[in-house]
Amino acid sequence: MTEHSPEFTLSCPTPLETHATVQMAHGGGGRLMRRLIEDLFLPGFGTDPAGNPPHDSAVLDVPAGRLAFTTDTFVVSPLVFPGGDIGHLAVYGTVNDLAMAGAQPLALSAGFILEEGLPIEMLRRVVDSLGHAADEVGERIVTGDTKVVDRGPGDGIFINTAGVGLVPPGVNISPRRVAPGDAILLSGDLGRHGIAIMSVREGLGFEGAIASDCASLAGLVAALVQADPDVHCLRDLTRGGLAAALCEIADGARVGIQLREASIPVSAPVDGACELLGLDPLYVANEGRLVAFVPAQAAERTLEIMRAHKAAPEPAVIGTVTADHPGTVELRNSLGGSRVVDLLSGEQMPRIC
């Protein structure tokens, strides 16, 4: 792959034409790239409120304490889907991973790989979404990079974001702390993101009924942690769905997990789509749902806090942690039958986030 990569912070006076596309920058220090930066990235992400001149690194003032640090790369196809686009995912995905450590986001980076031929209007849309999502969560994108690569399959944009956040004193959220007796709470219904993407990609026509659940979980986690700093573990449900999240935690914490199928919310449209596609909603991707592990006596209060928060549209206690069968997730149905929920060997849905 060939690439060309001036920094975000170069300047160029010429405005971008509406119907322009991203082209490989040949010579001259990448004039198109400068224009992208000046006309598109800087307006989308905002400039340093302190008015500092551009520099090779962002320098952050950080209070003493513990930092959470995470990164994620977004390759979703299509770039735009019901309920959002790759720009929203790139912010929420990383912010949610910070939130799962109880951290309040401090700053994000954004790195773009753009395919030659990408319409500028699509890039502008994605950059705007990214900027708006960052504003919504009170986050600044403090550093970034863009590279253009040769024309490929026509997908257009890949984004990497990294984020740092501050973990409040006394907060210790980790799979290590999951213990037998813990209640497991789910914040909302399953499978919207995966089905919304599949619907567009495969032309299935569900998109009127099913939009992605993609959303920031940072505010919900802040409310949970403020009310009860003794939350044992949090995990956002992304690729692999609820099943993958719980299997990883059961394995990592060496505990058993028992789920009650009847308490796991799945909307009728998602349920219907899953039936048609031969998918199990437990395995379908989400981008705005979490599970919380809390001591049994804190379950009711945690549920109350979730009910009061818009990021938890349908909270429910879905199961408990056991000392039996460490590493195993068991799903019990209302008739008293049960089955083991396993990790899938392959990827159920590629390019979902």
Contacting residues toward Mg ion, per CB under 5 A: 97, 236
CB of 290 to Mg ion, least distance (A): 9
CB of 240 to Mg ion, least distance (A): 10
Kindly tell me which of 97 and 213 has the beta carbon lying closer to Mg ion.
97
Kindly tell me which of 41 and 74 has the beta carbon lying closer to Mg ion.
74
Q: Which residues contact 208 (CB under 8 A, 6 or more apart)?
A: none
Kindly tell me which of 33 and 95 has the beta carbon lying closer to Mg ion.
95
CB of 47 to Mg ion, least distance (A): 30
Alpha helix ranges (H) inside the chain: 31-36, 42-45, 86-99, 120-136, 192-202, 218-227, 241-253, 268-277, 299-307
Give the DSSP H or E segment for 115.
strand 104-115
Kindly tell me which of 31 and 177 has the beta carbon lying closer to Mg ion.
177
Per-residue b or e along 280-317, where b marks 16 or more CB atoms closer than 10 Å to that residue's CB: bbbbbbbbbbbbbbbbeebbeebbebbeebebbbebbb
CB of 235 to Mg ion, least distance (A): 6
d(CA 131, CA 141): 8
Kindly tell me which of 12 and 100 has the beta carbon lying closer to Mg ion.
100
Give the SS3 label for residue 208: coil
CB of 79 to Mg ion, least distance (A): 21
d(CA 113, CA 5): 10
CB of 217 to Mg ion, least distance (A): 10
Q: What DSSP string runs through 285-306?
A: --SS-EEEEE-GGGHHHHHHHH
Kindly tell me which of 143 and 286 has the beta carbon lying closer to Mg ion.
286
